[in-house]
Amino acid sequence: MLTKEDVIDLLKPVKDPFLHKTLEETDGVISVKVKEDKKHVSVKVGISKLNTGEQMQMQQEIVQILKKNGATTVGLRFEQLSDEVIKKYQPTAEGDQANTILGGSTQPHFIAVASGKGGVGKSTVTVNLAMALMRLGKRVGIIDADIYGFSIPDMMGIEHRPALRGEKIIPVERFGVKVISMGFFVEDNSPIIWRGPMLGKMINSFFSEVEWGNLDYLLLDLPPGTGDIAMDVHDLLPSCKEVIVTTPHPSAAFVAARAGQMALKTKHEILGVVENMAYYESRQTGEKEYVFGKGGGPKLAEVLDTKVLGQLPLMQPYEDEDEFAPSVYQQDHPIGQEYHKIAAKVVAKVEED
């Protein structure tokens, strides 16, 4: 027969799903009553948020624990913890934030790759920065957060979908980089017709429902502009750092400045600017043609008070019949070598902090 003390001891290790602290730490077991004749246990539990799916999961966990240890029936009520307790244990530090989001024990460096407008090569930069970081010996993942314009799987030549392990999604690994994308969850390249709140839930799922393992860097390919998804990422990851991508054209740089200003206003550190499609170099003459103008990257860096990480020319990856990955530059490719330099600058900046 369970006693009141037994019930309290059994529930002490159960964790509040939002504070990630045990009921013992939060004094969350508020009251316990045991009816010996009917083996009925009544419990009142304090948690930080009410009426959520996490509360339902916690309820099932508590009921299973008590029934496994002798209770025939369980009555369970929840009430909200005091503001003082919630404030005391609310995750605020960078490491706690990372643990809350990914559910793991290690903290990766979060790097968002952003742009003001589409068509500047932001996803290409994301993919090849990830590859360059991996070649530097880092454990790297990519979240394709451009829900409407997902392109990372195609760029990397990924032809299969994530697996499931229990209730967790296992990201697809390609060239040693782990990837999750909305593209894995739609059929036949169908358009996504969603509103803001639904997008936010999907981004949350990419963090909380994916088994990332231990990563050094998690890159986020943001949609262009300063819309709902970009704002959700800024709210979710206050410690995230950003790389801003532009072309040399003044209009592209002008619009990219908005994304940079949003990062600054939300206290995201800007690591630097990547100027993509900076020029075209003729194979015959070696002369550089500035197809999209000149000076946009340095001007943007000046406006955002940061540095130009790299200026990348127009050039295709080497053709490779054995590996289909249309946007991945090989390590010995001239642009692959430029990405190596960019990645080294990113690592120096991030890891010195």
Residues in the chain: 353
- What secondary structure does DSSP assign to 57-113, as a single string? HHHHHHHHHHHHTT-SEEEEEEEEPPHHHHHHH---SHHHHHHHHH-SSS-PEEEEE
Instruction: Quote the tokens at residue 164.
Output: 């499931």
Say if residues 225 and 285 touch (Cβ distance below 8 Å). no
- Position 102 scores a pLDDT of 64
What kind of architecture, by CATH, is found in domain 94-352? 3-Layer(aba) Sandwich (3.40)
Class for domain 4-89, per CATH? alpha beta
The per-residue pLDDT for 70 is 87
- What's residue 200's pLDDT? 56
Nearest to 248 by CA among 273, 274, 225, 278: 278
Task: Kindly write down the DSSP assignment for every residue of 174-219, as one continuous string.
Answer: ETTEEEEEGGGGSSTTPPP---HHHHHHHHHHHHHSB---S-SEEE
Structure tokens at 26: 């939060």
CA-to-CA dists, residue 124 to 84, 99, 238, 295, angstroms: 46, 29, 25, 21
Structure tokens belonging to residue 336 = 């692959």
Kindly list the domain boundaries of the chain, sorted by start residue: 4-89, 94-352
Q: DSSP for 131-160? A: HHHHHTT--EEEEE--STT--HHHHHT--S
pTM for the model: 0.68
Confidence (pLDDT) at 25 = 92
Distance between CA atoms of residues 109 and 337, nearest Å: 23
pLDDT of the chain, 353 residues: tens digit per residue: 788 999 999 999 999 988 888 999 999 999 999 987 768 899 999 998 887 777 878 888 899 899 888 888 889 999 999 988 888 887 654 444 444 456 554 678 999 998 877 888 999 999 999 999 999 999 999 999 887 778 899 999 998 888 888 888 899 999 999 999 888 877 665 655 555 455 556 777 888 888 898 899 999 998 876 556 666 676 677 678 999 999 998 888 888 887 787 777 767 789 999 999 999 988 888 899 999 989 889 999 999 899 999 999 999 999 887 788 899 999 999 999 999 999 999 999 998 75
* Strand, coil or helix: 41: strand
Q: Which of 225, 72, 212, 221 is nearest to 140 (CA)?
A: 212
> Does this chain's domain 4-89 share its CATH topology with 94-352?
no
Nearest to 350, CA basis, from 109, 18, 159, 180: 109
φ/ψ region of 198 (left if φ > 0, alpha if ψ in -120 to 50, else beta) reads: alpha
Contacts of 75 (CB under 8 A, 6+ apart): 40, 41, 42, 43
Q: What is the pLDDT of residue 94?
A: 44
